[in-house]
Structures are given as structure tokens and as C-alpha cells.
Amino acid sequence: MTIPALQGLRVLEIGNLVAAPSAGRILADFGAEVIKLESLDGDPLREWGRPSPTGSSWWWHMQSRNKRLISVDLKTQEGRKLVHQLAQKCDVLIENLRPGRLNSWGLGYADLVEGNPGIIYVSISGYGLTGPYQDRPGFGHIAESMGGIRYVTGFPDMPPVRTGVSLGDEVAALQAVIGALMALYRRQVDPEHKGDYVDVALTESVLALTEAMLPEYLQEGVVQERTGNQLLRAAPSNIYPTQDGRWLAIGANSSKTFKSLMTLMDKPELAEEGGYATNTDRVAHVNQLDALISNWTTQRPLDKLLAQLHDAGVPAGAVMDARDIAEDPQFKAREMVVHVPGPGETKVGMTGVVPKLLHHGGHIHHAGGNIGEDTKDVLSHLLQLSEDEMKELERAGIIRG
């Protein structure tokens, strides 16, 4: 097996639910030693969604894969002291607790950087560490609303809708990983530069996805509205019903692919005239164009449409549910549907590693396990605590192992 890209990196994850743990999962996938800190009761994500036979959710088992799990009570002075000592031996700390919580416990950036000047401290919060909203608690769905995504998602005659996943948290996790890796690179190449403080706001992570929405308003006063499944600035790009009750995504918004689609539909003349010759024309007449394509797709089953469109070089794909994805040969070939060792002798199915690296790729060694299963091993190895010391901490309710 090749050496993972992040082997040798040690990360302390102090976070719950989605954003910080997703960032930790990505780093762990690529070989970082990620020490996940839970309360004595465990991360609330253990109770989100359908439970596995262990009692923890299936989502938990994926979210905490490859991590070392420790359980320490940060509400105690002794617990905070242990975590402070652990942070001194880590390259990166990622947290998404309520703003100011770690500072109040003596575990803020200023508290840790004195003894560990090279630490990369990543804070994920609703609004960031400055500004009038900095002290407010934040959640992904609020960030999606305030960051603009919710307003433009859905159909024009219906209320705004969510995307079906924790989009705000997941994109914040990506920004956290990007920020941590940028800071680590600067620390490596610049001897004068030590660590850094990475400030990730959920709202800003969402806003960064909104493409031309803000520039068009700032320059022209245009407020982007909901357009359903249509791509606002290019056409045709939509999902279309099929004869067998499925849905098919077609993206034929370049001149070449549009001409190929019209030829396949026995209407090649529409690529040159009829108000569809240019992308601007097609966007202006998008409703008529989508109706035309829908009339064609509803007369054919999904599989036949896909074969015809692929042969014609027109980008297309089925709208797939979890069953479709699990059975799809492309996802299987790319190891995006995997089963990995879980607690005991079990195997846990989950999504694979992204992205793929040719020489230093990621790997899933095991699913997330039980609360505090690595506490004693981590404290013994990194802090040289004796077995008697750990037993005393466990009796006092400071750790769980």
C-alpha cells in the first residue's frame, strides 16, 4: 500500500454532528491520525438517523471512520487539562463548538499557541469570529438560508426548500480542510511562519457557492429567483420525465451538444433557427424548449434514452436514489460503494473516499466504533499516563474508556 498523503499529521477533533467531524473524516481518510474527542455521553450524531445493531447511527459509523475515539469530560478542570496536553502534541485542532466555549475553558487559540506555536487551529462557527453576529449559535440550515442557497432552491410558485442533505455543514467542512492544508503548507515552506488560526463561517461557505447571484445584484440590481430544475443561465439543462416513470437529467447547453440533441429528436433545424440558435435564445425560450424535450422523453423508457443520448455525445444521467447508486457499475468501479470493518465482526457499508490520488490516496481502515474505545491507549501513548492514573480518572468520571 502506498503512503497516504497525510500520514504523520496528527489532528485533534473537538466537535459534534457534522461540520468539524466531516472535516476530520476527510483528513483521516488520507492518513492523518485524527483523535476525536467526545463527551462521556458521545456525539449526538450517534442518535441521528437509523440505528445500527450497536445502537449508534449508520451515519455515525461513516462519519467517524478511521478516527481514534476518546471520551473526556471537558466540564471538569482535570478533563480540560488532559485535552490541553493533547493539543500540545497535535498539528491541527478542528472545533465547531458554540463560539467562545473553548476560550472559556482555557482551550482557545491563545491558550494553546504559547506552548505549541505551530498549531493550526480551525474554528467552524455560524458567522465567523468577527462581526455583529459572531456570538450567535449557528446551524447548517440557517446558514443555507442566510447564505442565499435556500432562496434560489425550489420552484417559483413554492416556498424555498432545502437540498436534502446538510449542505451548509458539508461545504464548511471542505473549507476547513482547505484552510488547514493551506496553513500547513505555509508552515512547512516558511521557517518564519508558525501556525495559524483558520476561521470558517457556515454562512460564508454557503455564500461562496452562489456563483453570479451576488455580482448580478451588485452591478444590475437583479435578484435571482427560484427556477426549479432549470439552469438559470444556460439551456437546455433540466430533468425530464420518461415513459417508465423515471427522471432523466439532460445537459445540452453548448451549441454542439444542442445540435446533437435536436438531430436525435429529428428536429435538426431547431439548432439553426426557431429561436433556439444561441444559448441566449434558448434561455429566453426555455419553457417551450423544455416542453419539447419532455414530449420526446415521455415516449421512451429511461434505458433507451440513456443509450441514445450517450451514443450521440449528449451529457445525460438518471436521477438516482440510494438503491440506484449502490448498484451502479461506475460508482462500484470507483470504489464509492464500500463495506469496511465495523465493531466486532461486522461490515459497514458506506460512501468511499474522495478525491482519488494516484500515488498517495486515501483508504478506509475501519468504521467508527464505541464511545471512548481509544481513550486509554491515546492517553498512555501521548501523555504517558499509567494504568493506575487512568483508572482513577475513570472512577472520577473524567474519562470514559
Query: Collapsing DSSP states into helix, strand and coil, what is residue 329?
Result: helix
pLDDT, tens digit (0-9, with 9 covering 90-100), for 149-174 = 999 999 999 999 988 999 999 999 99
Low-confidence ranges of the chain (pLDDT < 50): none
Catalytic residue (choose from 73, 169, 196, 290): 169
Domain formed by 10-209+332-400, architecture: 3-Layer(aba) Sandwich (3.40)
CB burial readout 285-302, b (16+ within 10 A) else e:
ebeebbebbbebbeebeb
Written out in words, the top-level CATH class of the domain with range 237-241+247-318 is alpha beta
Give ranges for CATH 3.40.50.10540 in the chain: 10-209+332-400
Give ranges for CATH 3.30.1540.10 in the chain: 237-241+247-318
11 within 8 A of 20, measured Cβ to Cβ: no
Helical spans, DSSP H, in 210-285: 213-220, 255-264, 279-284
pLDDT given at position 38: 97
Record the cell numbers describing residue 387, joined without a space.
494504568
Bridge partner residues of 14 (DSSP): 37, 95
Task: Give all strands of the β-sheet with 237-241 in edge-to-edge order.
Answer: 237-241, 247-251, 316-318
Clarify whether 169 is annotated catalytic.
yes
Record the cell numbers describing residue 345, joined without a space.
465482526
> Rounded to 5 degrees, what are φ and ψ at 122?
-110, 115
pLDDT given at position 384: 96
Q: pTM for the complete prediction?
A: 0.93
Cα separation values, 362 from 31, 130, 182, Å? 7, 35, 19
245 within 8 A of 299, measured Cβ to Cβ: no
pLDDT given at position 1: 62
Report DSSP letters for 158-205, one per residue: S-----SS-HHHHHHHHHHHHHHHHHHHHHHH-TT---EEEEEEHHHH
pLDDT given at position 275: 84
pLDDT given at position 229: 86
